[in-house]
Chains A and B, each alone.
Chain A
Amino acid sequence: MLSTRATPYVIAVVSVVLATGVSLYMYPIDSDFPALLLLVAVAITASTGGFGPALVATTGGFLSLDFYFEQPPFTFSVSSIGTAFDLVAFVVVSVLLGTLNARLRDARQRAYAARREAELALQARDDALAIVSHDLRTPLTAIKTSVSTLRHPGTPLNERTSTELLGTIEAEADRLVHFVGDALAMSRLESGITPDPQWNALGEIVAAVLDRVTPVLGERPLSFDVPDTLPLARFDAGLLQQALTNVLENVGRHTPPGTAVSIVGRIGDGTVRVEVSDAGPGIPIEARERVFAKFQRLSDNSFGTGLGLAIARAATTAQGGTILIDESPLGGARFTMLVPNLASGGPSGAS
Chain B
Amino acid sequence: MRADSAPNILTVDDDPHVLRSLRAALESHGYRVRAATTGSSALEACAAERPDVVLLDLALPGMDGVEVCRRLRDWSHVPILVVSARVHEQQKVQALDAGADDYITKPFGTEELLARIRAALRREQARRDDQPVIDAGGLVVDLVARRVTVDGREVHLTPTEYELLRVLVTNPDRVLTHGYLLRNALGSGYEDALDNLRTFIAQLRRKLEREPSRPRWILTEPAVGYRLRPDA
Chain A positions near chain B (C-beta within 8 angstroms): 173, 177, 181, 184, 196, 198-201, 203-205, 207-211, 224, 226-228, 232, 236-238, 240-241, 347-351
Contacts and interface: CB of A to CB of B under 8 A. Distances in A.
B152 interface: no
B219 A199 contact: no
Contacts of B107: 173, 177
B222 A205 contact: yes
Contacts of B214: 207, 210, 224
9 contacts: A200-B198, A205-B222, A207-B214, A208-B220, A228-B205, A232-B198, A236-B223, A238-B222, A351-B199
A159 B198 CA distance: 53
Contact-size category for B = 20 to 34
Given A200-B198, A347-B199, 16 more contacts: A196-B90, A199-B194, A199-B195, A199-B198, A205-B220, A205-B222, A207-B220, A211-B219, A224-B214, A228-B202, A232-B195, A232-B198, A236-B223, A241-B223, A348-B196, A350-B195
Given A204-B220, A208-B221, A238-B223, A198 B194 contact: yes
Most chain A beta-carbon neighbours within 10 Å: one of B158, B202, B205, B206 = B202
A336 to B, nearest CB: 20
A261 to B, nearest CB: 14
Given A226-B213, A228-B202, A204 B195 contact: no
Interface string B172-214: 0000000000000000000001111011111001100000111
Contact of A237 (B200, B205, B223): B223
Contacts of B158: 351
B230 interface: no
A198 B87 contact: no
B7 interface: no
A198 B223 contact: yes
Given A228-B205, A241-B222, A204 B198 contact: yes
A224 B194 CA distance: 25
B177 to A, nearest CB: 12
Nearest to A211: B219
A228 B212 contact: yes
B27 interface: no
B213 A350 contact: no
Contacts of B193: 348, 350
Contacts of A224: 213-214
B89 interface: yes
A205 B198 CA distance: 11
A173 B110 CA distance: 13
Nearest to A225: B213
A139 B77 CA distance: 42
Contact of A207 (B198, B199, B215): B215
A337 to B, nearest CB: 15
Contact of A184 (B87, B205, B206, B219): B87
A314 B34 CA distance: 43
Nearest to A227: B213
Given A184-B87, A200-B198, A350-B196, A207 B213 contact: yes
B158 to A, nearest CB: 8
A201 B202 contact: yes
Contact of A203 (B87, B194, B200, B213): B213
A237 B194 CA distance: 13
Contacts of B213: 203, 207, 224, 226-228
Contacts of B219: 208, 211
A210 B213 CA distance: 11
Contacts of B215: 207
Contacts of A238: 89, 222-223
Q: Which 3 A-B pairs have the closest CB atoms?
A: A347-B195, A199-B195, A238-B223
Nearest to A181: B87
Nearest to B107: A177
B41 to A, nearest CB: 29
Contacts of A177: 107
B205 to A, nearest CB: 7
Contacts of A211: 219
Contacts of B89: 238
Contacts of B202: 201, 228
Nearest to A242: B222
Nearest to A347: B195
Contacts of B199: 232, 347, 350-351
A49 to B, nearest CB: 55
B103 to A, nearest CB: 14
Contacts of A236: 223
A209 B194 CA distance: 20
